Every structure is written in structure tokens, then in C-alpha cells.
Structure 1
Amino acid sequence: MAEQFTEVDRLRETLLESLEKADKRQEDISREDVLSRIENVIQTIVISVSKGEAPVLKVMNRSSWTNVRFQKSVGLVLKADVSLMAIRCDCPSSATKFALILKLLSVIYKLVQSDSYATKRDIYYNDVQLFGSQRTLDFIVDDVSCLLKLATSKGFISGDLCYLEEDGTKVDCNSSSAATPVSSNVNGIRNIVSSAKFILIVEKDATLQRLLDDDFCTRLSPCIIITGKGMPDVNSRLMVRKLWDELHVPVFALVDADPHGIEIMCIYKYGSMSMAFEAHSLTVPSVLWLGLLPSDIQRYRVPEESIIPFSQADESKINSLRNRTYIACQPAWEREVQTMQRLKQKAEIQSLASIAPHFLTRVYLPNKLRYGGWI
């Protein structure tokens, strides 16, 4: 067993050396800070009304690449002169959005004041008629997160990890059958205890459950597995960053060999446009691509029936990825992206099961971790 992870141990030593030079700034946001930020927004609105002006909320344009720049040691960070969107209460195209943001600010303010907790689903079902759809609420939550510079949680974590929540609650993630929800207050976590040799980010909760069913965390090596259930939420990213800062172990990503999987991995590693203002506390630039590599599809002879041809959406996404600076600065990653684009095919992690039922946990991952099969 000791010999099996020699390559991971070497990587850990290299990581420790680089972390000595890394910037680990991470800002804790208190309840008072949250209340103060909401009060400042409301105060601005009240002042506008008192002057007889139509109130306007200004939010960063979260879909514009012109607002961010790439910094290799951190990821995507905000430019100094970001473009803002004006959300006006007197404009038919944005009045509804303005009202929904105020409603959500009110809900958040009351929750923070009473030291209570609610999921996005809870908020939606408390006023289904107002929000109309969960998707609408999700967009509003993202806008409010950006407006207040706060974070939102849907991820799960499991493995060799124990810690205390801010209120003193002990959380033990050592379970071979079920994962633990990622904390809704990652910055408040303390007394982290773990002997994990590495952290494994997985794209889907189905993959995480498969690893747990095969007792991957204990049978193979002490480790921590985390998933943001697809496109990661902020708290899942905060948790990966916190564990990386605290434990100084390698961080690997296991995602589908498709454009969507690559983008998810890049968000953990380099960040996103919408949360570029929090890049220093959200990104882990040392994330390594463990699999599923596009080149693995042929290398492991994944059966044809498990390979999926590209769609038009895949073509658009892969072209977008190739134009991003952070892909171009990683030659090995760029080669894999080029391979995928050339073959015009993709495969999910689950496709490895078509080779053999336990191929992922008993052959693919052990060999990758033993021989350094990551990029």
C-alpha cells in the first residue's frame, strides 16, 4: 500500500514547497457584515426615493468576459473597470427583477438576524407564485451573491475528515455509505482533522456514491471526495480551497470527458466570471486533471456503444474553451481538448463500467494514482 502512492507523496512534497510561497488570503464574513451590506443597499434605495429619483441597483455583468482577466497564480480575477448592469425599478424589462432582489434581500436579512438557515428550495416553496420557477430564484440568488459579495451550498463531501462547525457542532465525514452536505458556512469551520493523502473532486454525486459503495476512501487510501453536483456552488469551491490550504495535499479532478466536464474542472481550478471578485478564496490553481481524459477513451478501449458523438452545443462549448487563456497556458490540457475536438466524441465516467463493473475503482483510479496518470 505504501508503494502504491509513491507518486502522490512526491507530488505532495512539491505542493508543500509551492504553498510556502502562495498567497492564502481568505476573508471571513461575519453576520454583522452581511447585515451591514444589505442595509447599505437599502439605504441607497431610500436616498434615491427621498430625492424623487427611481432607485437603481447596479450588479456586475456576470456573463461578460471583458470584466475578467486571467492571472496564472490565481485564476480569473476582476478587472479594475468592470461593466455593471443597471436594474431599474421604473423599467418594464427589469422592474420584476428589481422587486425579486429586494424580496430576497429581505428574506436573507431575517434569516441572518434570527441565526436561521434555509435552502434555495425552501425559499422557493415559501412563495412559489412570486418566483415562478426555481430557475428564476437561482438567478436572483446569484445576482444577490454578486451584489453583496457573498457565497451560496449544494455539494456533498465524504472521506477521512472531521471538523467543528462555527457553533461547535462536530462533523464526521467518515462514512462508507453516505456523504455529508458541504457546510453552509465554510469560513466558520475549525479544528480540521484528516490524514487524507489527496482530495478528489468528482463531477457528479452518482460517481461519488459509486466510490462510496466500493469503499474507495478506506480500501484504497485515506482521501477526501467532494462533489458540487455538476456546476459547483460557491461553498463547494470554498471547501476545496479551505482543505487545500489546511491539508497541503494534491487535489485531483475526475470529470466526464466532455466540454461540460472540462468547464466544471476549470471553475474549481481557475474560477468563474460571476465570482471573479472572490478568486483568491475560491480557486485552487494546483488542481490536476486525473480523468476521464479524452485520450483515455482510446487508451482503455471504451466500447463504442458507450461513446457519445458531439452535439452542436458540444461544438460551441469546445470552441469557447479553446479560446480561453487558461487552456492555452496548459499545453497538456490543450492537447486533450484538441483530441476531443478532432475525434468529435465524448464519454461519461460511467462508461468505464462497460469495460468491467468495478473498473473505475479497482483498475482506473488505482493505476492513475500509482503511476502519476494525471495532467
Structure 2
Amino acid sequence: MSEKFSEVDKLRVSLLQIIISRFDVLTRIENVIQKTIHSLSREQAPVLILKNRSSWSNVRFDKSFGLLLSSDATITTLRSDCPSSVTKFALIFKCLSSIYKLVQSGSYATKRDIYYNDPQLFGSQKTLNSIVDDISCMLKIPRRSLHVLATSKGFISGDLCYLEEDGTRVDCNSNCTAVAVSSNVCGITNIVSSAKFVLIIEKDATFQRLLDDEFCTRLYPCIIITGKGVPDVNSRLMVRKLWDTLHIPVFALMDGDPHGMLIYSMAFEGPSLTIPSMLWLGLLPSDIERLGVPQEALIPFTQADERKLNSLRKRPYISCQPAWESEMELMMRRRKKAEIQSLESIAPHFLTRVYLPNKIRYGDWI
């Protein structure tokens, strides 16, 4: 494994996590306010300019940083005098007010906290979440620097100890239980670990199976983490922090389906969240045939699967990964998918005592 990691380590870019000072955050918010006041003083309708985050045509791929918004990305203009945009315009300023108070006072709040301060105004949590993302993009500031946290849903276990910002010591060393991922990953310090690698697991059920089989100590000292499906920002930040601090390989164990591939590809989205050298351990489409997974354990492709896979293949970073393209083409051709649990149909404990140990020992990943 050390030989394989040396290749990965050469690709690793020493990218410090983006930390914006409180002064800079306050200044950028004040600049938005000043422009608005200036427009009003000239009897002009204030506007906000937002880059369009929903189109892949506005995205470029950098192998060291992941996905970045292009400098010439299309924009959306929110006018305060336009019926179709005035509501969003007002909500952005309401949210900016909350963020300014948080940063100024040095306190933090979750997105849910902000929403429940005035649920009738925002209408839904989804609306508030989108507003916060728009503000982060508009100000070019990572959300954690806005002092807005997300509620964590992920869990972590293994050879890992650290201190929370309030001084609480967290020990993740347990064979049967896991620790909830911190809601303030940036405040974590004094990370201590002898782990040889980090393993990201898509599903909570698989994560629990590894815990039950004492995987973290049976094979190597390691760290396992799950975001319970699509990972939340805190789980992704935690993986990034471990990668930056420990300088060890990061593997991904996902279902052998378009959804699993989509989750794995999130490792390349966002400069402060990306792990450019993350390795796709499995379940690879090529594994399904090579291991002889029983047909009854396979799931037929649906039209939704086909649409999702075709959409994924069009993303800007896929063309840079011929091994990924090969696996995707194989899945599309076979029109079959498999969950990680399908490996249990080969033999009990096959996943934890055969599949994963051999994959890691012999460098069988892409």
C-alpha cells in the first residue's frame, strides 16, 4: 500500500483550507450594503449580481482543486424593483443581517437556527439553504467563515482522537459505537491518529457492519466515516481535515450504481471540500462480473439510472478519468447495478474479511 500511496502523494497539492478573517467577512457584507445605499441615493433600484451555480457550462475542472466556477460564468441579476426577484432580494438581505451579527459577535448558528428565527418569512428550510449558498458564492466566502453551520448527520470511528473548539476531548476508538461528526469541524485541533488510511462509506448499514466486524483494528489501524448517503458538508470537511493533517490515503466504498458514482464524484466539487487524490475502492462495476456476484443479487437499470449516469458522464472532470469512463461504460452496457450488501451473497463476511482487505493490500482501486 505504501508504494501505491507514494504515487498519490505526488499528486497531492498542499492546499490550505480557505480561512477568511472576520474583518474581511464584515467588510464584504458592508460593501454590498454600501452599493445598495449608493443606488438608492441616486434613485436607482438596487441590484444583486449572482453567478449561476446550476449550470455545468459555468464550471471548469482543475485536477488540484476540483470544480471551480469559471471567471466568465453566466450571472443572474436580482432587481429590487422586479416582482420575480424582489422576494429573493429581500431574503438575501435578511440573511446577510443575521450573518453579520453572528460574525461580529463571534458566535455561530446552524442553518436551521436561522430558519426558525422567522420560518414564515423564509417559507421552507430549502429556501434558506439556497440563500446561504448564494451569499457564500456572491461574497466568495466559504460558508463556515460566515459562521453558519450545518447540522451533522455523519458518523466516524477508528484510530482518532481530537479536541473540539470548546476543549472537549473526543476519542473515536471504539469497536462497537461511532462518534457523530462535529458541527464545527474548523474548530477541531490536536488531531492524533496512527491510521493508515481513511475509508468513506456510502451507507450507514455498511458502516455498522464494519463496526460489528471490528474492521478498524482487524486489518490496519484506520478511520471509517459515513455521511449516510449523500454526505453533508461537515462530513466532507472532516475528511478534508483528516487528509490535510494526516497525509494518508482516502478510499471510497460506494454502491455499484449511478448514485454511488455521483456521491464519489462529490470529492471533486468545491476547492475547500475536494480530495483530488481520493481513490475509488469499490464497488466497481468490473468487480461485479469478476467476483461472480449472483444474478439474483443484481438490480436492473431503470430509466432514472440511465439519465443519472448519462448526466454524470457529461461532467467536466469525467473526461480526465479514463478508468472512470470505462467503468461507467461497462455499467451502461450491462444495464445492471449492485449494492455493497450484494457481496454478502457470495459468502458471509466476504466484504470485511476478503473484499476490502485484498483491495487495500494489493492496490486494487482506481
**Superposition TM-score tier, normalisation by shorter sequence:** 0.7 to 0.9
In structure 2, the residue matched to 1:84 is 75
Equivalent in the alignment of 1:323: 314
Residues 213, 109 of structure 1: CA spacing in aligned structure 2 closer, same or farther, 3 A cutoff?
Answer: farther
- Greater shift, 180-189 or 212-221, is seen at 180-189
Q: Structure 1 residue 361 and structure 2 residue 360: aligned? A: no
Matching residue of 1:4: none
Match of 1:96 among 63, 72, 87: 87
Deviation string 1:206-262 (CA, Å, 9 cap, x unpaired) is 332332233222222211122333333444333322222221211111111111211
Q: Give the whole-Å Cα distance in 2 for the aligned partners of 1:100 and 1:25.
A: 32
More displaced 10-residue stretch of structure 1: 26-35 or 257-266: 26-35
Name the residue aligned to 1:72.
Answer: 63
- Counterparts of residues 203-242 of structure 1 (less than 5 Å): 203-242=202-241
How far apart are 1:167 and its partner, in Å?
Answer: 4.3
Indicate the residue corresponding to 2:169 in structure 1. Answer: 170
Kindly provide the CA deviation profile for residues 85-113 of structure 1, in whole angstroms up to 9, marking residues without a partner as x.
Answer: 11222222222222222222223333334
Match in the other structure for 1:267 = 266
Which amino acid is 1:232 matched to? P
Structure 2: gaps spanning 5 or more residues:
144-148
Q: Cα distance, 1:196 vs. partner? A: 0.6
Query: Match of 1:141?
Result: 132
- Tell me the CA shift for residue 25 of structure 1: 3.6
Does the 8 Å CA contact 1:12/1:248 hold for their aligned counterparts?
no
- Structure 1 residue 360, shift from structure 2 partner: 2.1
Q: What is the alpha-carbon distance in structure 2 between the residues aligned to residue 106 and residue 282 of structure 1?
A: 26
Cα distance change of structure 1 residues 61 and 301 upon mapping to structure 2, 3 Å threshold: same
Whether the 8 Å contact between 1:15 and 1:249 is mirrored in structure 2 is no
Output the CA distance in 2 between the equivalents of 1:121 and 1:306: 40
Q: CA deviation at 1:188?
A: 3.8
2:303 aligns with: 312
Q: Aligned with 1:108: secondary structure?
A: helix
Superposition deviation, residue 195 in structure 1 = 0.6
Match of 1:9 in 2: 2
Which residue identity does 2:115 align to in structure 1? Answer: Y
Partner Cα distance (1:99, 1:308) in 2: 47
Matches of 2:50 and 2:103, distance apart in 1: 22
The amino acid across from 1:53 in the alignment is: Q
Q: Hey, what's the Cα distance between the residues in 1 that align with 2:204 and 2:76?
A: 35
Letter in 1 for 2:179: T
Deviations 1:101-157 (A, max 9, x none): 222222333333444333333333443322322322222232222223223543333
Who is 1:150 aligned against? 142
Question: Measured at CA, do residues 306 and 41 of structure 1 come closer, stay the same or move farther in structure 2, by a change above 3 Å?
Answer: farther
Bigger relative contact order, structure 1 or 2, given CA contacts below 8 A and separation 6+? 1
Establish whether residue 199 from structure 1 lines up as the match of residue 198 from structure 2.
yes
In the TM superposition, what is the alpha-carbon distance from 1:317 to its structure 2 partner? 1.8
1:265-304 aligned at under 5 Å gives the runs 265-268=264-267, 270-271=268-269, 275=270, 279=271, 281-304=272-295
TM-score by length of 1: 0.85
Q: Structure 2: which amino acid aligns with 1:150?
A: P
Q: Conserved in 1, the CA contact under 8 Å of 2:5 and 2:249? A: yes
Deviation, 1:290, is 0.3
Tell whether the 8 Å contact from 1:28 to 1:187 is kept in structure 2 after alignment. Answer: no
Distance (Å, rounded) in 1 between the aligned partners of 2:255 and 2:78: 37
**Is contact 2:56-2:315 (8 Å) kept?**
no
Q: 1:112 — aligned with what?
A: 103
Q: 2:109 aligns to what SS in structure 1?
A: coil
Tell me, yes or no, if structure 1 residue 131 matches structure 2 residue 130.
no
> In structure 1, what is the equivalent of residue 146 of structure 2?
none
After TM superposition, the structure 1 stretch with the greater mean CA deviation from structure 2, 237-246 or 352-361, is 352-361
Q: Runs of 5+ in structure 1 lacking a partner?
A: 1-7
2:363 aligned with 1:372, yes or no? yes
Shift, 1:340, TM fit: 0.7
Partner SS for 1:352: helix
Q: One-letter code of the match for 2:2?
A: D
SS in 2 for 1:301: coil
Residues 179 and 100 of structure 1: CA distance in aligned 2, closer, same or farther (over 3 Å): farther
Q: Give structure 1 regions of 4+ aligned residues with deviation exceeding 6 angstroms.
A: none
- CA RMSD in angstroms comes to 2.5
2:22 aligned residue: 31
1:61 aligns with: 52
**Are the counterparts in 2 of residues 157 and 227 from structure 1 also a CA contact under 8 Å?**
yes
Q: Percent identity?
A: 68
Partners of 2:170 and 2:224 in 1: CA distance? 15
Using a 3 Å threshold, how does the CA distance of structure 1 residues 315 and 261 change in structure 2: closer, same or farther?
same
Work out the CA distance in 2 between the residues paired with 1:176 and 1:43.
Answer: 55
Once residues 257 and 89 of structure 2 are traced to their aligned partners in structure 1, the CA distance between those partners, rounded to angstroms, is 37
2:160·2:191 contact (CA, 8 Å) conserved in 1?
Answer: yes
1:335 aligns with 2:326: yes
Cα 1:38–1:183 shift into 2, 3 Å: farther
CA distance in 1, matches of 2:180, 2:22: 21
Q: Secondary structure at the match of 1:282?
A: coil
User: Partner of 2:30: helix, strand, or coil?
Assistant: helix
- Partner amino acid, structure 2, of 1:11: K
Query: What is the CA distance between 1:339 and its match in structure 2?
Result: 0.6
